Structure 1
Amino acid sequence: MKAFQTSKVYLTIILLLNFVYLSFIGFQLQSGNSCFAPGRTSTISRSLSRQAESITTSDLSENRTRNSLTDSEQKIWVFTDDNLEKIYFYNRLLKKEHSFNKANLKTFRDKLFGVLGDDFNNYLVVHRGNTANNSQLQYNGSKKLRFNVTDKVYRRLPHNFTVKEYRRCSVVGNSGAILQSRCGQDIDKADFVYRCNAAPIRPFVKDAGEKTNITSFNPSILGKRYHRLTHNDSLTLFLRDMKEYYGIVWASCFSFQAYTTECIQVLCNYTNTENQFVLAHPDHFLRVERFWRSQGFKKRLTSGFYLATAALSHCSEVHLYGFWPFTHKSGSTFEQLSYHYYDNLSYNTASSKGPHGMMTEFAILVQFHLRGILKLHAGEC
């Protein structure tokens, strides 16, 4: 019994250490508090601590046994990898009963628009209503650089673009965790669907759905898949592949200068009728980045986290799929995952040297899930 009690306390401490950073970035929903509260234990952090202790105690009291990847005869949980330990506890948190909380969403939106400005959603797309002919656009990655909006480019811009309010929105990330999730129908139930970085749809409809309204497009894809449009058939192949999307293909051409020329070439030669190719306004990203920096998050935002924030600005219920920053699957099997659901790239996001902070982003999204601001789907639907 003494050994059992010692193990229980030890695992509780380990769990709390895994979440200790939440004490520094805990989301504050009370009026007058910033979203991040460095140096203070937040309401959500205390809530996580209580839930952590409850989870650990209940599992040990039931004498459940599992090794990191296979069952064993041990009387306590043993993990050979720190990420597997995090996966287990995150999975337990996300399995708790969920309900949307309109009051918490409103409080978050008030804070969001307090930094972004009431005209934020007018800057999702570069259009003639927010961009003058012969004006300049500031790159949001290479901030010292400017792009000159020539008459040729201006004539290809839409006259206007309106972001409407929707009841239910899906944001589909590209984690390999979405495979075998059977979330396709659930995703397509939404009134509006965001997709990240032109991920292929047709072979993965059962798991990732097929409905599209906004498909983000990283112009580096023009280099990786289409030889920077230098081959005779490159543009033709690109246009063919884009036909599987509907709504708008939303290209972030003004993050960095590397692919701007190719991006504008696409804009001026886009003939698809299934969708519209538009330019993401760099100020839209800059405002979202400014908000999260004001809350203490300094890393460059991933596409998924950025789009999740955008969705929260105009959707009553935001559902996230394919957001999973770990090398192994949630649930009891801990199967190894590919980086994307549509390729076999190895998963290497744990390095702190990269530009993104996926683990911190995920921790924030879990907190939002627990407060009913959004719903984070992990595992099967």
Structure 2
Amino acid sequence: MKPLSTQAIEDARRKILKYLNTSTTFRIFRRDIDPENYKFGTNLSTIMEHNQTEVLPSPVGHRCAVVGNSGILLSSLCGREIDDHDFVFRLNLAPVDGEFSRDVGSKVDLITLNRMELLALETLSKDLNTTVQGWMYINRLNGTVTDSSIVWYPLGFPEKLSQIAVSFRDTLQLQPAWAYTPESLMYLASKVWNMPVPSTGLSVMTAALLHCDEVTMYGFFPFPEDSRGRTLRYHYYEPDTGPLKGNHSFGLHNMPKEFSLLQKLAEDGALRLVTERCYDKIFDVT
């Protein structure tokens, strides 16, 4: 793996700072604020007037991991290496408990909530523990989101977040910190990388490069087979339904193009991109 380059990291950060800044990328509600009283703002002056949120420290850690959800993670044995980072970003409420932890780790410092999950949780919030779908979410969240985690909605103005935070507290007895980005991070990342509809993963990587000294990417591989010819699931936590169809360039996100960007950033030394197994010797594998 090519070593990181201080110059490449600074070049990437300067590019990002044309559109993002550390004052508005993450607005984290203070834990003494009741979720029922959350006030959201679309600009920094309104946010400061509300006086309810704080920013994520920058740098949040020397070494950060951004963990995607590709099936490339299965049998990777990367869990301990991921957890060894100072700060771990995860995506879209992906589970980390039980059978997955050896491959994906269990540390969850910050995890995103996407629009689909926001709407689903809003619908389920009144009867989260009385429906089959609600129980599925409960099982998925248990062991993933903890009181020490930050749950982040990065796609703009999310008034529904207040209702969901109340449901987490009252139904699941979970009180993570809640965060949002006043302007959609996906929109801002599209301008940074000239990518029309960037994925959550690319958007989170953009924020991580701004808030971390070093960034390593795991679980970003959008193809149906790995270098050893293994058939891969689309998401590591979904049932095995056979090989993927197409090359993912015809949906909402152009995943192969994003992967090429990650490869270029890794080649330049702006970040590390892990797509192979991690070292077996750090595990007690028999």
- 1:160 is the counterpart of 2:54: yes
Partner-residue secondary structure (3-state), 1:106: helix
**Which residue of 81, 104, 116 maps to 1:208?**
104
State the Cα distance separating 1:233 from its structure 2 match.
1.9
Q: TM-score normalized by structure 2?
A: 0.76
Taking structure 1 as reference, are residues 191 and 349 closer, same or farther at Cα in structure 2, changes over 3 Å only? Answer: farther
Contact 2:157 2:182 in 1 (8 A): no
**Which residue of 100, 103, 106 maps to 2:4?**
100
Q: Aligned residues: percent identity?
A: 25
Aligned twin of 1:341: 236
Taking structure 1 as reference, are residues 211 and 310 closer, same or farther at Cα in structure 2, changes over 3 Å only? Answer: same
Deviates more, 1:316-325 or 1:266-275: 266-275
Taking structure 1 as reference, are residues 291 and 226 closer, same or farther at Cα in structure 2, changes over 3 Å only? Answer: closer
Aligned twin of 2:151: 250
* Equivalent AA in structure 1 for residue 26 of structure 2: L
User: Whole-Å Cα distance in 2 between the matches of residues 367 and 345 of structure 1?
Assistant: 30
- 1:125 is the counterpart of 2:27: yes
State the Cα distance separating 1:212 from its structure 2 match.
1.1
State the Cα deviation string for residues 321-353 of structure 1 (Å, max 9, x = none). 100010112x23x11111110112653462443
Taking structure 1 as reference, are residues 182 and 360 closer, same or farther at Cα in structure 2, changes over 3 Å only? Answer: same
Contact 1:219 1:251 in 2 (8 A): no
Specify which structure has the bigger relative contact order, considering alpha-carbon pairs within 8 angstroms and separated by 6 or more residues: 2
State the Cα distance separating 1:100 from its structure 2 match.
0.8
State the Cα deviation string for residues 288-325 of structure 1 (Å, max 9, x = none). 33533xx5322x11111111111111212111110001
State the Cα deviation string for residues 178-207 of structure 1 (Å, max 9, x = none). 000000011011000000111111121110
Aligned twin of 1:110: 14
Taking structure 1 as reference, are residues 172 and 253 closer, same or farther at Cα in structure 2, changes over 3 Å only? Answer: closer
Taking structure 1 as reference, are residues 109 and 182 closer, same or farther at Cα in structure 2, changes over 3 Å only? Answer: same
Taking structure 1 as reference, are residues 239 and 251 closer, same or farther at Cα in structure 2, changes over 3 Å only? Answer: farther
Partner-residue secondary structure (3-state), 2:224: coil
State the Cα deviation string for residues 269-303 of structure 1 (Å, max 9, x = none). 432676524142242516633533xx5322x1111
State the Cα distance separating 1:225 from its structure 2 match.
7.7
**Which residue of 84, 89, 92 maps to 1:197?**
92
Contact 2:113 2:151 in 1 (8 A): yes
Superposed CA RMSD: 3.4
User: Whole-Å Cα distance in 2 between the matches of residues 358 and 328 of structure 1?
Assistant: 14
**Which residue of 269, 273, 278 maps to 1:376?**
273
Aligned twin of 1:288: 188
Q: Note the residue ranges of structure 2 that are not aligned, 5 or more in a row.
A: 31-37, 279-286
* Equivalent AA in structure 1 for residue 124 of structure 2: R
Taking structure 1 as reference, are residues 232 and 182 closer, same or farther at Cα in structure 2, changes over 3 Å only? Answer: closer
User: Whole-Å Cα distance in 2 between the matches of residues 291 and 239 of structure 1?
Assistant: 36
Taking structure 1 as reference, are residues 232 and 163 closer, same or farther at Cα in structure 2, changes over 3 Å only? Answer: closer
User: Whole-Å Cα distance in 2 between the matches of residues 194 and 123 of structure 1?
Assistant: 14
**Which residue of 280, 291, 316 maps to 2:213?**
316
Contact 2:65 2:217 in 1 (8 A): yes
The within-5 A match list for 1:9-20 is none
State the Cα distance separating 1:101 from its structure 2 match.
0.7
**Which residue of 70, 74, 82 maps to 1:187?**
82
Taking structure 1 as reference, are residues 285 and 110 closer, same or farther at Cα in structure 2, changes over 3 Å only? Answer: same
Aligned twin of 1:301: 198
**Which residue of 51, 59, 70 maps to 1:175?**
70
State the Cα distance separating 1:159 from its structure 2 match.
3.6
Partner-residue secondary structure (3-state), 1:123: coil
